[in-house]
Amino acid sequence: MTVSESGTSALDVDTDDERVAGLVDLVTVADGTTDTIPVEAPFDGEQVGAIPACGEADVDVAVERAREAQQSWADRSIAEREEVLSRFQDLVLDRQSELLDVVQLETGKARRTAFEEVQSCALTAGYYSHRGERFLGREKRKGVVPGMTQVEVNHTPVGVAGLISPWNYPFELALSDALPALLAGNAVVLKPAEQTSFTALKGKQLLEEAGLPADLFQVVTGRGPDVGPAMTDRVDYVGFTGSTETGRIVGEQAGRNLLKYSLELGGKNPALVFPDADLDRAVEGLVHGSFSNAGQLCISIERCYVHEDVYDEFLERFVAATENVELGTGYDFEAEVGSLVSEEQLEKVTEHVEDAKARGATVHTGGEPRPDVGPYFFEPTILTDVEMDMDLCCEETFGPVVSVYPFSDTDEAIAEANDTDYGLNASVWTGDTEFGREVARQIRAGTVNVNEAYAAAYSSIDAPMGGMKDSGVGRRHGPEGVKKYTEPQTVAVQKGQGMAPPDGVPYWLYAKVTTGALKLFDKVPGLR
Ligand code: NDP
């Protein structure tokens, strides 16, 4: 097997499944790579295909080719790069049915959830396709000597951005971080999760159809420990989304390499329900917020604090609404919740729930796997009496499981919400939105939604999204989400007298005049 002209090489692992057939040809593979990894469909546990198990040599080829392609891409105007994002948005929306099929096939999620991520990626593409000049264009800044020092800032691309993405939102989390990196003039090398590489490859296919030069976006499939570290040793920026545990490994390596990086990690996200909340909206919002994507969502709600005045009523309605949630394996919009992604994930969720049950937690609904629906399905589950010694109390479960706790006053609720190493997302439910904002400001989380679970903040692409505490480093979305892929460069042009005493002027006089000027500048608004 040899590396083809385009830098890719087809291993003989293609599949008959027409939804993903041919995609494996888009993986960058070096001469000599022969190992493969099977990919299974969580809906039925059947193998749908296989992907190359890449290693260091493959990463080498991918980064080298990406680097070669990057320079001419960076030389293109921002408007030209924006056009590619704009065409990509159109393709994502027009070809969504193909995309939804692949996302569902690999993740086992409900089509509604697959639509949410495809829609979110389209929103991101549209957002950045109109703001390239605003966020990346040359900026004039104030020079030190008015009229004499002219300063501009250039937002130069970092070069090759390496992205490592998880399986839970494989289209959104792989592509939405790549888009601003590309807009900023970078090449991207993506290592998608083993389970969901076809979705990432589908994204590469659409980007190329939208006009992206072929070598600019490389996908290297394989196992995290084989591909991730090799990538972090070769790229100019690393962006990781996944577990806090793996994030620490990536961050340590990036730190050693003095590499710029961002990490979007786990959460144990709280919701606070106050007595003046609209309980109909709160129940509906928190069913969606806790069980969407079977709870495999970094910003989903796993802890629910409810004021004692409405606790019984809320719990009763929350349980009733959860019992109506429809599970299913269909490739249509009927089911609300789909499967967990894998046997491993089912084991983790089951262990958390069994441990809580054994230590005295009360199960109000759910609590069991549902092999009658599919091999990795787990029932949406509501627990109370969850204590600190139970695994699911403080660790991210990443499944359709939520614990409900009563509280009696606002300070107590805020303290409980903050009593976690994580700080990704939170949700506040109240009839008084000013009070909601006030509570939100006291919660240590990167996003807080008032009268919504997660989507209001996450989908507002103009605002930064990411984690405080152990939930991450850096932000995606907004100007922050694109500027992180750039190196700001200051160019200062000095006219006339330089930053030193003129010839013949003693330093004491220079110091005196400069001191007077500094005082004057501070008093005149236009000179500050
Ligand atoms: P990981 O964090 O291990 O995986 C995320 C990505 O990192 C994948 O692409 C993975 O590759 C890659 N990776 C794995 N090891 C390394 C490494 N040493 N260096 C660089 N990259 C690496 O999550 P898991 O898939 O193992 O899931 C475990 C738990 O993590 C879940 O139960 C859940 O709690 C949490 N999680 C949280 C997510 C979030 O968004 N908050 C997303 C996914 C998981 P590969 O697929 O090949 O292992």
pLDDT digit string (tens) for 53-83?
A: 999 999 999 999 999 999 999 999 999 999 9
> What residue segments make up the domains of the chain, in order of their start?
18-265+479-486, 269-466
Task: State the Cα–Cα distance between residues 94 and 104, nearest whole angstrom.
Answer: 18
Share of the chain above pLDDT 90, in %: 93
Task: State the Cα–Cα distance between residues 443 and 484, nearest whole angstrom.
Answer: 25
The residue type of 140 is K
Pairing relation of β-strands 381-384 and 362-365? Answer: antiparallel
Mean pLDDT of 349-353: 98
Has residue 290 got a pLDDT over 80? yes
Task: State the Cα–Cα distance between residues 385 and 405, nearest whole angstrom.
Answer: 7
pLDDT at position 3 is: 41
CA dihedral 174, 180, 182, 187 (to 10 degrees): -60
Tokens representing 157? 């691309």
Confirm whether 298 is a catalytic residue. Answer: yes
Mean pLDDT of 402-419: 98
Has residue 7 got a pLDDT over 50? no
pLDDT at position 512 is: 96
Question: Which ligand 1 atom is nearest residue 345's CA?
Answer: 32
Question: Which ligand 1 atom is nearest residue 348's CA?
Answer: 32
pLDDT bin (cut points 50, 70, 90) of residue 2 is very low
Among 175-179, 294-298, 463-467, 522-526, the minimum mean pLDDT is found in: 522-526
pLDDT bin (cut points 50, 70, 90) of residue 12 is low
Task: State the Cα–Cα distance between residues 192 and 172, nearest whole angstrom.
Answer: 11
Beta-strand ranges (E) seen in 281-333 are: 301-307
Has residue 204 got a pLDDT over 80? yes
Question: Which ligand 1 atom is nearest residue 192's CA?
Answer: 9
Ligand 1 centroid, distance to 246 Cα (angstroms): 6
Has residue 308 got a pLDDT over 80? yes
Which CATH superfamily groups domain 269-466? Aldehyde Dehydrogenase; Chain A, domain 2 (3.40.309.10)
Residue nearest to atom 13 of ligand 1 (CA): 224
Question: Residues with beta carbon inside 6 Å of ligand 1?
Answer: 164-168, 191, 193-194, 223-225, 228-229, 241-243, 246, 249-250, 265-266, 298, 345, 348, 396, 398
Confirm whether 387 is a catalytic residue. Answer: no
Has residue 499 got a pLDDT over 90? no
Whole-model pTM? 0.96
Task: State the Cα–Cα distance between residues 36 and 351, nearest whole angstrom.
Answer: 30
Has residue 5 got a pLDDT over 60? no
The residue type of 18 is E
pLDDT bin (cut points 50, 70, 90) of residue 439 is very high
CA dist 247 to 228, 432, 436, Å?
11, 37, 32
User: For 225-242, how does the pLDDT look when each residue is reduced to its tens digit (9 = 90+)?
Assistant: 999 999 999 999 999 999
Has residue 405 got a pLDDT over 50? yes
| Residue in 254, 227, 252 with CA at minimum distance from that of residue 164 | 227
3-state helix, strand, coil split of the chain in percent (to 5) is 45, 20, 35
pLDDT at position 11 is: 61
Catalytic residue among 264, 379, 396, 452: 264
Tokens representing 449? 């939604």
pLDDT bin (cut points 50, 70, 90) of residue 282 is very high
CA dist 112 to 100, 298, 336, 417, Å?
9, 17, 7, 29
Task: State the Cα–Cα distance between residues 198 and 159, nearest whole angstrom.
Answer: 26
Ligand 1 centroid, distance to 166 Cα (angstroms): 6
The answer to whether the beta carbons of residues 96 and 115 sit under 8 Å apart is yes
Beta bridge partners of 46: 41
CATH 3.30.565.10 fits 18-265+479-486, yes or no: no
pLDDT bin (cut points 50, 70, 90) of residue 498 is confident
Angle value at C-alpha 346, between 342 and 352, nearest 5 degrees? 145
